[in-house]
Amino acid sequence: MAVETTSRPARVDADAEGGARVHRRGTGRKSGETGRLRRAAAHHWYAWAMVAPVVVVIGVIIGYPLVRGVYLSLTDADEANVERTIGVNHLPATYRFTGLDNYAEILGDSVFWDRLGWTVVWTAGCVGVTFALGLTLAVMLNRQVRGRSFYRIGMIVPWGIPAFVSVFAWKMLFNEKNGLLNKVLDGGGIDAVPWLGDPVWAKVAVIAVNVWLGVPFMIVAMLGALQGIPGELYEAAEMDGAGPWQRFRNITLPGVRGVSSTVVLLSTIWTFNMFPVIYLLTRGGPEDSTEILVTYAFRLSFINSPRDFATSAAWGVLILVLLSLFTVVYRRALRRQGEVW
């Protein structure tokens, strides 16, 4: 998708501009056109110079690897046959082109579908709970309440701490034998819960941690949205005798819809690709039960031995396809609801 545009936006639009001008003025002479192009370049060169570094960085680090990733996914590249240097010996690549074999193998195997199922549950669960909590807390914070800025800052704190640090903190709390959570439960007479050792509890645990990490962003975004709703609407509704729930449904929810749709899309994509929480908390275990697509693709090429670059690349391409599909469908659904986006 992005392949086409990353490396050549300037060229594409130089053409477009030439075309547009020809169309407007109705002149088709070649020399005049190059002259105009040159003038356009003279006129726009500083704008291009300003964006050039970004275009180069994106082209080199995203465009090129993307193309190569797609190519690798069509080969049988692994640790043993890629180009590499051992000591002073430089070994050339010996992997072969295998067409769609990798994809056939992945899609024909239940591992992919299992991981996909859990990834969907994980994403929907995290985004749903995070959104509900974030909106609730933002509504509460948006009222005249004493100590409001204290609450607000307190709740945003998790956002300011690097995610991997927070995950370690949670890992400590979740510790089965000695963790604080189980000790508290023990004090209440409840048996220890194998938070990270049991497939079901591990799933609950990773979702809980990710929600904890994601709520602050949601609160901030939703607070911004709530503050954009004019107070008169609420007053008018109250005059008309609307109850709190009616006001929430008919004013608040429509009022935050614009921001929510963007935020939900963003957090869906982020959660779908959320690597550190699962990798650091459970390493995908126990027995692959918490492994999402992204962590599995990572495991194929960086943890398993021998490293299977081709299959991992194919997983990556499939993930990208899924995300693109989701984005397209989501945007279409929004547009049908009349959302200009």
Partner 1 sequence: MTATKTIPVPGRRGGRGPLAAFGLHAGLLAATAVALFPPLWLLVTSFKPKSESFSTALVNDFTLDNYTHVVADTYFLTWLGNSLVVVVGTTLIGVFIAATTGYAISRFRFPGMRPLMWVLLVTQMFPMAVLIVPLYNTMASLGLLNQPVGLIITYLTVAVPFCAWMMKGFFDTVPVDIDESGRVDGLTPFGTFWRLVLPLARPGLAVTGFYTFVTAWAEVAYATAFMTGEENLTLAGGLQTFVNRYGSDWGSMTAAAVIVAVPAAVVFGFAQRHLVAGLTAGATKS
Binds partner 1 by CB under 8 A, chosen from 127, 141, 218, 264: 141
Residue 72 sits in the site that holds partner 1 (CB under 8 A): yes
Residue 259 sits in the site that holds partner 1 (CB under 8 A): yes
Residue 118 sits in the site that holds partner 1 (CB under 8 A): no
Residue 211 CA to residue 317 CA, distance in Å, equals 27
Q: Indicate the DSSP class of residue 306.
A: S
Largest Cα span, the chain: 88
Residue 226 CA to residue 214 CA, distance in Å, equals 18
**Shortest distance in whole angstroms from residue 171 CB to partner 1:** 7
Binds partner 1 by CB under 8 A, chosen from 165, 200, 239, 340: 165
Residue 12 sits in the site that holds partner 1 (CB under 8 A): yes
Residue 216 sits in the site that holds partner 1 (CB under 8 A): yes
Which DSSP string do the residues of 34-101 spell out, in sequence order? HHHHHHHHHHHHHHHHHHHHHHHHHIIIIIHHHHHHHHHTTB---TTTS-EEETTEEEPP---B-TTH
Residue closer to partner 1 (CB basis): 104 or 172: 172
Binds partner 1 by CB under 8 A, chosen from 112, 122, 131, 309: 309
Binds partner 1 by CB under 8 A, chosen from 127, 206, 211, 264: 211
Phi, psi of 273 (to 5 degrees): -100, 10
Residue 207 CA to residue 125 CA, distance in Å, equals 7
Residue 149 sits in the site that holds partner 1 (CB under 8 A): no
Phi, psi of 336 (to 5 degrees): -65, -30
How do strand 84-86 and strand 89-91 relate by DSSP bridges? antiparallel
Residue 62 sits in the site that holds partner 1 (CB under 8 A): yes
Residue 239 sits in the site that holds partner 1 (CB under 8 A): no
Residue 320 sits in the site that holds partner 1 (CB under 8 A): yes
Amino acid at 34: T
- Residue 304, CA distances (Å) to 42, 125, 228, 307, 311 in order: 54, 29, 50, 6, 12
Binds partner 1 by CB under 8 A, chosen from 36, 101, 114, 159: 159
Residue 46 sits in the site that holds partner 1 (CB under 8 A): yes
The stretch near partner 1 (CB under 8 A) out of 27-35, 105-113, 177-185, 192-200 is: 177-185
Binds partner 1 by CB under 8 A, chosen from 5, 27, 94, 250: 5
Residue 203 sits in the site that holds partner 1 (CB under 8 A): no
Residue closer to partner 1 (CB basis): 283 or 289: 283
Binds partner 1 by CB under 8 A, chosen from 22, 114, 171, 233: 171
The stretch near partner 1 (CB under 8 A) out of 28-36, 115-123, 191-199, 305-313 is: 305-313
Q: Contact at 8 Å (CB) between 202 and 290? A: yes
**Shortest distance in whole angstroms from residue 296 CB to partner 1:** 9
